[in-house]
Structure formats: C-alpha cells, structure tokens
Chains A and B, each alone.
Chain A
Amino acid sequence: MQDQTDDRTLITRIAGQDQAALRALLGRHQLRVYRFVLRIVRREAVAEEVTNEVFLEAWRNAGSYEARSSVGTWLLSIAHNRAVSVMRRRREEAIDEESAGAIADDGDDPEVAAQKLDKAAQMRRCIGELSAEHRTIIDLVYYHEKSINEVSEILGIPLNTVKTRMFYARKKLSELLAAAGIDRGWP
C-alpha cells in the first residue's frame, strides 16, 4: 500500500514535469514493463522502444491519471496497448522471424535440447510456446500478480473472460507439457 502511495506521489510530481520523479518511476517499473513487453513482441530492440514509449506516454499524460487503479496496472495497460499495436502491424507484414534482434528460439538452443528431461525447463519452454494472448495472461497473473479486476483493466476484457482465458491458457499449457512427455493428470 505504501508503494502505491509513493507511486501516486511520483505521478503527481511527474504531472508537474519533475524529471527526478520520472527517474524514480523508471527505477521502480521499467524492468517489469520491459519484460512484459518483450514477452509479447519478442524482439529486444522493439521491446526497448515500446518501453520507452510507455514512460513517455506516462510523462505526457500523468496529469490525466486517475487513481482508480495502481500505477503499475496503468503502465502495463499502456504497455499492452502499444505492444499489441506493434504485433498487429508485424502480423500484417508477415514478419521474417530471422530478422536481426529476434529472441532466439529456445528449441534451437543445444543447451535447452540437453535439458529435455528437466521439468522446470520444459515448463518454461511450453509457456514460451503459448499464444501471445495466453502467455500474456499467464504473465499478468503469475509474474505481475495482478487481480482479476486489474487483468481486466490491462487487457480491456470482461471479468468472466479473464477467468476463462486464464483457465484455457492453463489447459493449453498442460496439453503442451503432455505432448513433451509430462503428464500432469490434468485436465
């Protein structure tokens, strides 16, 4: 709760064009926002630029921030919109997956191949193989620890859709693990 209060104080100061406050906000949220974006766009250079744009938007729109949600949720909401916009553009351009800056495919990594028997490694690989939609909600719930309401706000989807999407993401993950030889006994 104290963190949220501090974040809101920072936003108030940022609305007054206080660069020191922006610097502090970056220190608190930049890495999480970057990771969230990278897991969607999968390109480091693009993720870096989108992350910068998120904080620039926060800088420019701090005055219109309404404290109905936490600052972290607000930033992730901006990040999601921008990342999805980038993805939509790339999809329409039939992107070449071998372009510079792409994240290496775990499946091509000999070390990962050698870890085939490692259940934890398989779990990470299978999460990476989920669709962007499923991976995003898994990240929001498990890594960013967002509530149902917060996920709904970030993704712009109804509460029931949040619950069902998470359920199907978990189900798909179990199917991928089963295909990799790990039977979890569910679903």
Chain B
Amino acid sequence: MSGIDEQLSEREEIEMLLPWYMTGRLDEADMARVEAYLEQHPDMHHQLALIAEEQTGTIEGNEAIQPRLASVASLLARTETPAGAAKSWFAGLIDGLKSLVEAPTPGAVRWAAAAAAVIICLQAAALGTLLTQDSGGGYQTASRPGVEADHGAVALIAFTDKAAAADITRVLADNRLRMVDGPLPGGFYSVRFEDHATGDEQRKRFDAILARKDLIRAVMTGR
C-alpha cells in the first residue's frame, strides 16, 4: 500500500474506481468490491449518474471530430522507404531544427543554437532565391521523384506578421499545400503537396506563393 492508499477512506477509494466500474473495465475483485459498497451506500448512485453524463459528453466530443486523414495510399508509399534510407539534406535540416528545440540543453544555449540555424537557413534561402531568379529556373524541390515528393516536407515557409490565419489557409489550399509541422525556429512551417504535382507544377506554385509578399516572408525549398 502506498502512502496515498493509506490516507484514502474506503469511500474515496470506491469513488476513484467508479469511472472504470461504469465502463466495465475493472477486474473481478474490484468490480465485486464496488458493487458491495454501492449496495450499502445508495447515495453513491448519484456519482454514477454524473459519470454517465461525463462519458456521454466525452464520446460526443470525440465523435464530433471529422476525420481528416491522409490517404492510405500515401501512407503505404511511405512504408516503401526503408527505415534507414538516407535523407535529403533538406529533410535533415528540418530534423536538425527540431532536434535543436528538443535537445536537453539549457534554454539559452538551445535558443542561441536555434537562432544560428535560422540565420543559416535564411542565408541559404536568399542564395537559393537569387540563384533561381538569375537563371530563371524557378525552384527545385527537396525530394527525388517517387519517394519523398509525395509525402515528405517539400519546403519551409515563413509568413509575415500581417498574415491572417484565414489568408494562410487560403494560399496553402489554392496551391494544394498542407502544413505538416511547425512552427520551427524562426517561425518556419514545413509544408508538402497534397497531390502528385510535377516538378514544373511545383515550381509554378512556389512562384505564385512567393508573389504574395503581403503574406509570405520567406520560402525555402531544397535539393
């Protein structure tokens, strides 16, 4: 018996078991114990009524959630990527940003490292943009065909301070992009395409997104 158990009265112990009594998930011994107590203490039945209300509310709350699930085909495609397969530098970069935030190091150090990483990202993004604008070649995606392009993050996008949630949702939807993670350090979000867009189509969509200077602060795609 723990200290907590020793301090609890029989009534309190039974009260704690009631939710599982109601769902029929107590073992036989506890079930018999609760039933015996309820027989001797009919006032406890009020608790069962309260628990029934709580359970109904919980079930209704869950069932109100409309499924928004990725297609099974998309998930199955990911199972075809070997667990130990080499990641693109872009996927590695996203993982790196995440690991900076998750690392069990002091906050100040972590944030300093994250800030440094973001500066590097922005520099890379600026270089990438300049290069593609000069060559007129648009953008390149991070993924090789047929593997990550269908499911992995394909870009990092940062929004302006003025961008409203509705505008962000619309511009992503217009270009068949879905946010898959974020915010990452620097306010970046990772996004991916919802469809099987070709490289040209992806480039067009990123051009369209980057044209929205009122909403988009930076776009970074990779190779």
Chain A positions near chain B (C-beta within 8 angstroms): 17, 19, 22-23, 26, 30-31, 34-35, 38-39, 44-49, 51-52, 55-56, 59-60, 85, 88-90, 92-93, 95-96, 98-102, 119-120, 123-124, 126-128, 138-139, 141-143, 145-148, 150, 160, 163-164, 166-167, 170, 173-174, 184-186
Contact = CB atoms under 8 A, between A and B. Distances in A.
Majority SS at the chain A contact face? helix
B47 A186 contact: yes
B211 interface: no
A19 B20 contact: no
Interface of B: 2, 4-5, 15-17, 19-20, 23-27, 46-47, 50-51, 53-62, 64-65, 67-70, 72, 74-76, 78-79, 83, 98, 101-102, 107, 164-165, 168-169, 172, 178-183, 185, 189
A100 B61 contact: no
A121 B176 CA distance: 35
A120 B56 contact: yes
6 contacts: A30-B69, A51-B70, A93-B185, A100-B169, A141-B25, A185-B46
Contact of B17 (A17, A119, A163): A163
A101 B59 contact: no
Majority SS at the chain B contact face? helix
Contacts of A127: 54, 57-58, 61
B101 A89 contact: yes
A98 B165 contact: yes
Given A99-B165, A100-B165, A147-B25, A142 B54 contact: yes
